Structure 1
Amino acid sequence: MPARLIGRFNAALERRIPEQRLFLRSDSETRFIRLRPVTQAVAMAGFSLLLAWTIVATAILLMDSIGSGSAREQARREQANYEARLDALSVERDQRAQEAVAAQERFALAMRQVSAMQSALLASEERRKELETGIGVIQATLRRTMGERDQALARVTELAAVASEGPQTAASAAPSGADVADTLGVLTAALGRTAAERDAMAELADAAKSEADEVAYEKRLLEERHDEIFASLEEAVTISMAPLDKMFSSAGLDPDDLIEQVRRGYSGQGGPLGPLVPPVAAGSDDSAERAGRILEGLDRMNLYRLAVEKAPFAMPLKTSFRYTSGFGRRWGRAHEGIDMAGALGSPVYATAEGTVVHAGWESGYGNMVEIRHEFGLATRYGHLSKVRVEVGQRVSRGDRIGDMGNTGRSTGTHLHYEVRTGGTAVNPMTFIKAANNVF
């Protein structure tokens, strides 16, 4: 039965694919190979399958090549966008740094002006007090002189009355007319001197009053200038504090708690104490309070400056790099930092001052450096090719702690950078972006 079916199949195929013979001739004999229709059909089917597989594979490779080219082009565009954004952030950071330096210079200049104004006000106050004392002495002398003049006039009147009563009364009242004449002459001279002294004292009093008015006017001008400087300082402190508050708040740090911790760490006192801002004048409590508030603001800014050095707001790389992986889940697992790819051996810097608690090999991280900072913060720098610090070493912001590498579980040269708060990983970009408000 199967032979009959095969025969019928061959007969059907022979109508379309006739039997072929392949002759093989040698020197002594000639042979042939019979190619039956079934054999030819099988060969044609195999060749067709091979041709179809070749076409499909070629199409797949072409599509993959086109897709890979598009992906590479997109990756290059994203890299260019990242680098352009990084350059813009660097320019903005430099501008903020220049503005901060200019603000500090303005503060220093304003404080010098306040000190000069305070000194001028104190000098004018002392001068006014001296003038008031001089006016009092002049007035007392003038009153005494006028009293002596009145006594002399009364005496002259009395002597004139005695002289008008007659010779006998004059004889009984005075020893002689010559004595009366001498007395009158002395009294007249005394009255003249008294009148001259009175006029001189009056001129001095007028001059002192005019000078006191000029001093009072200068004092008012100084006080107005003093108020303008205070207003400028208050405005400058307020404007300068706003981006600092925003920076720490954006990073998830409470500015008040941060300032209190820094203040506790820098609370040393000692030495002779003097008035930080001398009083402007009697009853100048308002000016003293304003000066105190400004100094508190400046002190807060100084504490902010110390806090910035202790918190990881800086960039760990200063050379060219690109972001290759962000914070979050990656391939189904948590990625607890950011990856920044660059050249092998690129310097890696500490982003804040602190103490090195790990410097060496760590599973997954390869060569890794961990630094403990203030405020419960810590940073990690992984996949380093070389570690340049030791455990227990104290580092400052900007100190070189290692070189970029490809150690540990890594697929290429890059830096794995982490920021941890209380042992929990947080997004480092939060700190980097927050610093853009100031630096």
Structure 2
Amino acid sequence: MRRRLTIRIHAFLERYFPERRVFLKSDDDTRFIRLRPETQLAAFIGVTLFVGWSAIATAVVLMDSIGAGNFREQAKRDQITYRERLNAISQERDSRAEEALAAQNRFNAALAQISDMQSELLASETRRRELETGIEVIQATLRETMSQRDAARSELAELRKEAAQDSGTQSLASVAPVQMEFLSSALAETAAERDQVRADAQSALQERDSLEMEIKLMDERNNQIFRQLEEAVTVSVAPLDKMFRNAGMPPDSILEQVRRGYNGQGGPLTPLALSTRGEEPTAEELRANKILNELDQLNLYRMAAQQAPFATPVNLGLVRQTSGFGYRRDPKTGGRRLHKGSDFAGRTGTDIYATADGVVTHAGWQSGYGKLVTIRHAFGIETKYAHNSKLRVKVGQRVSRGDHIADMGNTGRSTGTHLHYEVRVNGKPVNPMIYIKAARNVF
């Protein structure tokens, strides 16, 4: 059976691979090599396998070469895009810095202008009171002068009446020369005094008109100063009020906390003194006190802004934001999870700064966060700086805004070098970008 099968296979191969002979001839001899069908089949299979392997290897090499070229091109494109993005971020940072500097300059200029206007307003108020006092003195002098004039007229009338009676009973020749001389002198003095009183009254009236005009001009100037002060205060207070409201910090509550914890720097402005005689305050005094209260509020806003984390924890020109606040896909598990802060990716060792004055409550390892720095600020605010490679502060240390507190790293539950930055208000996490963007819009 096996022999028959072998014979059939041999006959099948003879059809496609007939037996061949390869002759090898030399000068004195001729030989041949017989190629059986089985040998030809083996040679054909070997050549076929070699050609197939060569084709596959060539295709693989070509595909790898093409893929490598595409990867290099993609890497170049990504690098160019990354550079363009860095340049755009740098330009945006520069523009934001210029805007912040301009806003700070405007803020300082407004404060300086407010201070000058306040001094000018107080000087104008003092001058107005002096003028009012001068008018009262002039009016009193005028009344006294008019009384003296009336008295002189009455005395002159009595003298004339007595002279008429004397002339009816005595002749002019019988009047004593001394009495005539006295009468003439009295009449002359009375007439001179009357003329002087008229001149003084006229001068007093003119001076009164001049003072009333000066008071009117001063009132207009005061109104202009009041308007400028009110506009400057409104322009300065409105952005700060909006900044605190956007950050989820009720301005009234924040200002009350600052007022209770006031430490003596700056301080509330003293209102204008009101009358001690029970008189109602004037409209100017009410208006001035309102402006002073708003200036006090502006000062409290400034102090509150210094204590809240309105700043960036890293130099935005050296990093890029890779993840924001909110729900996202967990990079470790792939599930949906709340991301309680913002991530900024950069090089290992990038400087990390405190965003506000405060006290360090944690500086060490914490599960998930890696090397963590936690700072407690005013108003129940707490900031966290996670995944650091090196910590530069200790627990209990007091830090100021802009202090170098840590170096960026990849410790803890992290997929790459970055800073995980959190802001918590009364223990509840809030979006840190609210504070960062609010600071950009004001400072």
Q: Does 2:345 correspond to 1:349?
A: no
Match of 1:203 in 2: 199
Shift of 1:347: 2.2
Which secondary structure does the structure 2 equivalent of 1:381 belong to? strand
Which secondary structure does the structure 2 equivalent of 1:375 belong to? helix
Shift of 1:409: 4.4
Mind listing any 5+ residue stretches in structure 1 that lack a counterpart? 23-30, 171-175
Aligned counterparts of 2:20 and 2:426: Cα–Cα separation in 1: 86
Aligned counterparts of 1:228 and 1:60: Cα–Cα separation in 2: 80
Indicate if the aligned counterparts of 2:19 and 2:35 stay in contact, CA closer than 8 A: no
Indicate if the aligned counterparts of 2:128 and 2:218 stay in contact, CA closer than 8 A: no
Shift of 1:77: 0.6
Aligned counterparts of 1:146 and 1:5: Cα–Cα separation in 2: 167
Shift of 1:183: 2.3
Q: Does 2:295 correspond to 1:298?
A: yes
Which secondary structure does the structure 1 equivalent of 2:148 belong to? helix
Match of 1:25 in 2: none
Aligned counterparts of 2:3 and 2:212: Cα–Cα separation in 1: 137
Indicate if the aligned counterparts of 1:107 and 1:233 stay in contact, CA closer than 8 A: no
Which secondary structure does the structure 2 equivalent of 1:318 belong to? coil
Give the AA of the match of 2:61.
T
Match of 1:310 in 2: 307
Give the AA of the match of 2:315.
K
1:228 aligned residue (204, 224, 229)? 224
Match of 1:110 in 2: 114
Q: Does 2:27 correspond to 1:39?
A: no
Shift of 1:391: 0.5
Shift of 1:2: 7.2
TM-score, normalization: structure 1?
0.81
After superposition, the Cα gap between the structure-2 partners of 1:63 and 1:275, relative to the gap in structure 1 and judged at 3 Å, is same
Which secondary structure does the structure 2 equivalent of 1:345 belong to? coil
Mind listing any 5+ residue stretches in structure 2 that lack a counterpart? 23-32
Shift of 1:210: 1.7
Shift of 1:398: 0.8
After superposition, the Cα gap between the structure-2 partners of 1:340 and 1:47, relative to the gap in structure 1 and judged at 3 Å, is same
Aligned counterparts of 2:385 and 2:2: Cα–Cα separation in 1: 77
Which secondary structure does the structure 2 equivalent of 1:36 belong to? helix
Indicate if the aligned counterparts of 2:363 and 2:373 stay in contact, CA closer than 8 A: yes
Match of 1:26 in 2: none
After superposition, the Cα gap between the structure-2 partners of 1:17 and 1:238, relative to the gap in structure 1 and judged at 3 Å, is farther
Query: Over the residues paired in the alignment, what is the CA RMSD in angstroms?
Result: 3.7
Shift of 1:21: 9.7
Indicate if the aligned counterparts of 2:269 and 2:295 stay in contact, CA closer than 8 A: no
Match of 2:180 in 1: 184
1:54 aligned residue (54, 57, 60)? 57
Match of 1:329 in 2: 329
Aligned counterparts of 1:243 and 1:14: Cα–Cα separation in 2: 99
Indicate if the aligned counterparts of 1:385 and 1:403 stay in contact, CA closer than 8 A: yes
Count of matched residue pairs: 422
Q: Residues 377-392 of structure 1 correspond to what in structure 2 (within 5 A)? A: 377-392=381-396
Shift of 1:134: 3.4
Match of 2:272 in 1: 277
Indicate if the aligned counterparts of 2:380 and 2:426 stay in contact, CA closer than 8 A: yes
State the percentage of identical aligned residues. Answer: 39
Which secondary structure does the structure 2 equivalent of 1:110 belong to? helix
Q: Which deviates more from structure 2 when the two are superposed, residues 238-247 or residues 66-75?
A: 66-75
1:399 aligned residue (392, 399, 403)? 403
After superposition, the Cα gap between the structure-2 partners of 1:214 and 1:162, relative to the gap in structure 1 and judged at 3 Å, is closer
Which secondary structure does the structure 2 equivalent of 1:277 belong to? coil
2:431 aligned residue (427, 430, 433)? 427
Aligned counterparts of 1:12 and 1:204: Cα–Cα separation in 2: 154
Shift of 1:319: 6.9
Indicate if the aligned counterparts of 2:149 and 2:197 stay in contact, CA closer than 8 A: no
Aligned counterparts of 2:252 and 2:11: Cα–Cα separation in 1: 100
Indicate if the aligned counterparts of 2:307 and 2:356 stay in contact, CA closer than 8 A: yes
Q: Residues 137-286 of structure 1 correspond to what in structure 2 (within 5 A)? A: 137-166=141-170, 177=174, 179=176, 181-266=177-262, 276-277=271-272, 285-286=282-283
Which secondary structure does the structure 1 equivalent of 2:387 belong to? strand
After superposition, the Cα gap between the structure-2 partners of 1:72 and 1:298, relative to the gap in structure 1 and judged at 3 Å, is farther
Indicate if the aligned counterparts of 1:356 and 1:395 stay in contact, CA closer than 8 A: yes
After superposition, the Cα gap between the structure-2 partners of 1:315 and 1:4, relative to the gap in structure 1 and judged at 3 Å, is farther
Aligned counterparts of 1:44 and 1:154: Cα–Cα separation in 2: 162
Which secondary structure does the structure 1 equivalent of 2:383 belong to? strand
Superposed CA offset, 1:253-296 (max 9, x none): 33333333333332879x9x99533579x976332332233233
Superposed CA offset, 1:211-259 (max 9, x none): 2222221211121121112212222222333332333333333333333
Give the AA of the match of 2:50.
F
Indicate if the aligned counterparts of 1:263 and 1:303 stay in contact, CA closer than 8 A: yes
After superposition, the Cα gap between the structure-2 partners of 1:285 and 1:52, relative to the gap in structure 1 and judged at 3 Å, is farther
Which secondary structure does the structure 2 equivalent of 1:392 belong to? coil
Give the AA of the match of 1:165.
T
TM-score, normalization: structure 2?
0.80
Which secondary structure does the structure 2 equivalent of 1:420 belong to? strand
Superposed CA offset, 1:96-138 (max 9, x none): 3322322332332233233223323422432332343234234
Aligned counterparts of 1:20 and 1:396: Cα–Cα separation in 2: 97
After superposition, the Cα gap between the structure-2 partners of 1:82 and 1:426, relative to the gap in structure 1 and judged at 3 Å, is farther
After superposition, the Cα gap between the structure-2 partners of 1:185 and 1:416, relative to the gap in structure 1 and judged at 3 Å, is same
Which secondary structure does the structure 2 equivalent of 1:356 belong to? strand
After superposition, the Cα gap between the structure-2 partners of 1:157 and 1:393, relative to the gap in structure 1 and judged at 3 Å, is same
After superposition, the Cα gap between the structure-2 partners of 1:12 and 1:209, relative to the gap in structure 1 and judged at 3 Å, is farther
Aligned counterparts of 1:242 and 1:53: Cα–Cα separation in 2: 73
Aligned counterparts of 2:83 and 2:361: Cα–Cα separation in 1: 34
Match of 1:136 in 2: 140
Superposed CA offset, 1:137-192 (max 9, x none): 3432442344244334323432432343357xx9xxxxx9454x322321221221
Which secondary structure does the structure 2 equivalent of 1:436 belong to? helix
Q: Does 2:88 correspond to 1:84?
A: yes
Give the AA of the match of 1:379.
T
Match of 2:30 in 1: none
